[in-house]
Structure 1
Amino acid sequence: MQERDTNLSLYVHIPFCVRKCLYCDFLSFCPGGDNEKEYFKALEHEIECCSEANSEFEVKSIFFGGGTPSFPDSSYICKTLEKIRESFHVSPDAEISIEANPASAMSDKLKAFKAAGINRISIGAQSLNDEELRCLGRVHDSKMFFDTFDNARKAGFANINVDVMSALPGQSFDSYMETLKKVLSLGPEHISAYSLIVEEGTPFYDMDLDLPDEDTDRRMYHETKRILLENGYHRYEISNYAQEKHECYHNKVYWTRGNYLGLGLGASSMVDNVRWKNTSDFGEYLKKDDIRRDEQKLSLQDQMEEYMFLGLRLVKGVSISAFKENFSQDIYRVYGTIIEKYVSEKLLQINEDYLSLTDIGLDVSNTVMADFLLDK
């Protein structure tokens, strides 16, 4: 068996937003009264409580997500990061990221984030077409995005991700390409490009949306791969592209089943093959007692399944030798029939020690990855 992993990543959930976007199914809401102040007090308490139980770990990445972490006063975020540094063993070269909405990421906030030690910022552009942004319910316009990107550079951020979305209501192929090319002109180090998924429970789910047809959606997808590669961005995960040495460490922890601790309302964790999530009830979280829910010790089968369907999201794929090292079983004894099936269909390929999806396989990744669930 593999030696115990003593690296840890922290996810810090900031649930506050100016307004919930029409497609959003994340846990977020607009704060009222003293909610922000009380929330960050409870978050500080959780950090203190968790630090002792995880004292043997070295924190390699921290990710402030949401919600909109750039929405509250920057002092809340900076003090939270300071508390984490006091409570955990944070690596000197840890990747520390924050998500930012252009409508709330003002220049002074960006400077404060950088001064506090945050070294990576993820800006949610989604589109640079103002009509498409209005249709999404976003609170920013394209000018705000360009200003935010410029201010992030001026603040000293040398590692910037930009989120872009395709297959939006009313979006044409040409308007999507225009957004993508404008983003490329700025030279961010990382781009997350993904198609809109209309989730049940969101306002979009009950609306009659004018969505691009499937052929246009696929054309957007394939042109994204081509154009980003031509401009120096290698694809390392289904929806993520990076310039050299700028892959997101934190996100790869999820896909490779590393240890991560979720802090904050509704945050999920997986440490030493135990999964749980925090309560999603704001009042319960503020009480600071017994916030952990749905704890599950993963069986060997659970671990193998996750190793495959998460790891295959990576373009590099999964290591055949690491599978045996982790689980003391040969990957072909467990998954030989499935592997043989998809290799013959040219959806999977074997390259030395790695089993990965082919380009065609990546197009139908959900179908392939679902077959690696042993109890379907």
Structure 2
Amino acid sequence: MCRCRLIDTPPLALYIHIPWCRRKCPYCDFNSHSLHGGIPETAYVERLLQDLAQETTALFPPPPLTSLFIGGGTPSLLSGEAIARLLRGVRNRIKLPIDAEITLEANPGTVDAQRLAAYRQAGVNRLSIGAQSLSAQHLERIARIHGPEDIRSAVHQARRAGFENLNLDLMYGLPEQSLTQACRDLEQALALEPEHISYYQLTLEPNTAFHRTPPPLPDQDLIADMRLQGTAMLTSKGLEPYEVSAYASVERRCRHNLNYWRFGDYLGIGAGAHGKLTFPAQQRIQRRWKLRDPVAYLHPANRDRLVSGQQTLSETDLILEFALNALRLPEGFDAPLFEHRTGLPFPRIAARVDAARSAGLLAPEPEPQIRPTELGHRFLDDLLQYFVPN
């Protein structure tokens, strides 16, 4: 148990995990499962709401949610009726303000005009479209089930359904991708005029098909050029970087993800979902996670045993996890935010901050904000090493 000075709870968000995909992507290390047959959406929505009811018993009373994010997997495999029933159930159990950000992840090729209109009518007000690339060649190389026209169709149909806040996920550093191809990809994505673009590097994660059989990827210098050129293209269109891989105007920044990066609290429901909660009365911050296997998660015997594990964060856990999140932001953090969100006095990390400043990875004093330099952002893993327990 760390020596904490937790005073109150941070903002609270809700993450809902939908674990099924039509096909598992070779680079994906999320808890996703290839679909064999139909989704048991009625049973799954019912279990999600039971899960939420169990989670909120720990909160007296639960504070209003700042945001809600339905991720996966492929949430857009669920019908509009299922999403409406889910959101009604959430509102019956916890306050979801009328202006709360409600995001749903959708994959091109899994949505049509009717489904998108039903999502919007149900209360979803932000759509995150998993484009990944607008090149037919590269979509095939990463085994996506859609083509470029499916992406354009999804965006146009979303606009007609009334969505005014769209994110496009786009990757660079794809197999055998050139700088010209990466820029062309981004150019086509920008032509669709999304309010937000998540522009991130393809990485080979353990326990994925690409990790077992790596494809030929661009070298690190070329990948760095893709990032720099991409950032210049995005900012020229008014999409400013506000996190390592997130670009948007100030009013369209993803509130849900900002809550993660600022070390806020969140409930996690669904197969494999993770949550983090702060308990000032007990002076502890706890993580908990749910059964990963959807079959086990839905099994009647596990109705009251959905939690797979939990952990009270130690002082070293808190320091590292706070840094892992907050240093992804260009503005970093200040001492009051660190103390408020971790319950630890800032001197606990002062020597680490000074060492990272000396290495040129954090902005120098007397600036009060502990923020990464351009070098620190480029070599974020090196910066984070200063916050790893000795």
The bucket for the TM-score relative to the shorter chain is: over 0.9
Q: Which residue of 2 aligns with 1:195?
A: 201
1:174 CA displacement: 1.0
Say if 1:6 and 1:56, in contact at 8 Å, map to a contact too.
no
Aligned-partner Cα distance in 2 for 1:284–1:134: 33
Check if 1:262 corresponds to 2:262: no
Say if 2:13 and 2:68, in contact at 8 Å, map to a contact too.
yes
Say if 1:265 and 1:285, in contact at 8 Å, map to a contact too.
yes
Say if 1:192 and 1:239, in contact at 8 Å, map to a contact too.
yes
Decide which of 10, 24, 36 is 2:14's aligned counterpart. Answer: 10
Decide which of 295, 312, 315 is 2:330's aligned counterpart. Answer: 315
The more displaced of 335-344 and 168-177 is 335-344
Aligned-partner Cα distance in 2 for 1:133–1:238: 23
Say if 1:8 and 1:261, in contact at 8 Å, map to a contact too.
yes
Say if 1:16 and 1:72, in contact at 8 Å, map to a contact too.
no
Q: Which residue of 1 aligns with 2:282?
A: none
What does 1:245-256 align with in structure 2 at a 5 Å threshold?
245-256=251-262
1:226 CA displacement: 1.4
Aligned-partner Cα distance in 2 for 1:327–1:132: 42
Letter matched to residue 57 of structure 1: P
Decide which of 168, 178, 182 is 2:188's aligned counterpart. Answer: 182
1:185 CA displacement: 1.5
Decide which of 335, 353, 358 is 1:344's aligned counterpart. Answer: 358
Decide which of 82, 87, 91 is 2:93's aligned counterpart. Answer: 87
Decide which of 25, 41, 45 is 2:50's aligned counterpart. Answer: 45
What does 1:158-173 align with in structure 2 at a 5 Å threshold?
158-173=164-179
1:187 CA displacement: 1.6
User: Helix, strand or coil for the counterpart of 2:231?
Assistant: helix
Q: Which residue of 2 aligns with 1:214?
A: 220
Q: Which residue of 2 aligns with 1:21?
A: 25
Decide which of 286, 290, 294 is 1:274's aligned counterpart. Answer: 286
Q: In 2 relative to 1, CA 306–315 (structure 1 residues): closer, same or farther, beyond 3 Å?
A: same
Say if 2:6 and 2:341, in contact at 8 Å, map to a contact too.
yes
Q: Deviations over 1:277-302 (max 9, x none)?
A: 00112232113121112211123342
Letter matched to residue 370 of structure 2: L
Aligned-partner Cα distance in 2 for 1:49–1:328: 26
Q: In 2 relative to 1, CA 208–299 (structure 1 residues): closer, same or farther, beyond 3 Å?
A: closer
Paired residues, number: 374
1:34 CA displacement: 6.3
Aligned-partner Cα distance in 2 for 1:199–1:326: 29
1:122 CA displacement: 0.4
Q: Deviations over 1:68-121 (max 9, x none)?
A: 000122211221111101111112211000000011021111101111111101
1:213 CA displacement: 1.7
Check if 1:293 corresponds to 2:326: no
User: Helix, strand or coil for the counterpart of 1:91?
Assistant: coil
Q: In 2 relative to 1, CA 20–324 (structure 1 residues): closer, same or farther, beyond 3 Å?
A: closer
1:150 CA displacement: 0.7
Q: In 2 relative to 1, CA 213–243 (structure 1 residues): closer, same or farther, beyond 3 Å?
A: same
1:327 CA displacement: 5.5
Q: In 2 relative to 1, CA 40–31 (structure 1 residues): closer, same or farther, beyond 3 Å?
A: farther
What are structure 1's unaligned runs of at least 5 residues? none
Q: Which residue of 1 aligns with 2:372?
A: 357
Q: Deviations over 1:254-310 (max 9, x none)?
A: 111111001100000001111010011223211312111221112334223322232
Letter matched to residue 197 of structure 1: T
User: Helix, strand or coil for the counterpart of 1:3?
Assistant: coil
User: Helix, strand or coil for the counterpart of 1:32?
Assistant: coil
Q: Which residue of 1 aligns with 2:66?
A: 60
Say if 1:47 and 1:83, in contact at 8 Å, map to a contact too.
no
Say if 2:356 and 2:386, in contact at 8 Å, map to a contact too.
no
Say if 2:19 and 2:294, in contact at 8 Å, map to a contact too.
no
Letter matched to residue 341 of structure 1: A
Question: TM-score, length-normalised on structure 2?
Answer: 0.91
**Bigger relative contact order (CA 8 A; separation at least 6):** 2
Say if 2:80 and 2:122, in contact at 8 Å, map to a contact too.
no
Decide which of 316, 321, 328 is 1:306's aligned counterpart. Answer: 321
1:248 CA displacement: 0.6
Letter matched to residue 291 of structure 2: T
Q: Deviations over 1:42-74 (max 9, x none)?
A: 223223333443333111110000000001222
- Identical-pair percentage: 34
Check if 1:100 corresponds to 2:141: no
Q: Which residue of 1 aligns with 2:235?
A: 229
Q: In 2 relative to 1, CA 149–37 (structure 1 residues): closer, same or farther, beyond 3 Å?
A: same
Decide which of 83, 91, 107 is 1:77's aligned counterpart. Answer: 83
1:329 CA displacement: 5.4
The more displaced of 67-76 and 144-153 is 67-76
Q: Deviations over 1:231-269 (max 9, x none)?
A: 211111111111131111101111111110011000000
Aligned-partner Cα distance in 2 for 1:19–1:6: 37
Q: Deviations over 1:6-59 (max 9, x none)?
A: 632110101111111111111112143563333223223223333443333111
Aligned-partner Cα distance in 1 for 2:361–2:90: 43
Check if 1:139 corresponds to 2:163: no
Aligned-partner Cα distance in 2 for 1:6–1:92: 20
Q: Deviations over 1:340-362 (max 9, x none)?
A: 22222321115743100001110
Letter matched to residue 316 of structure 1: E
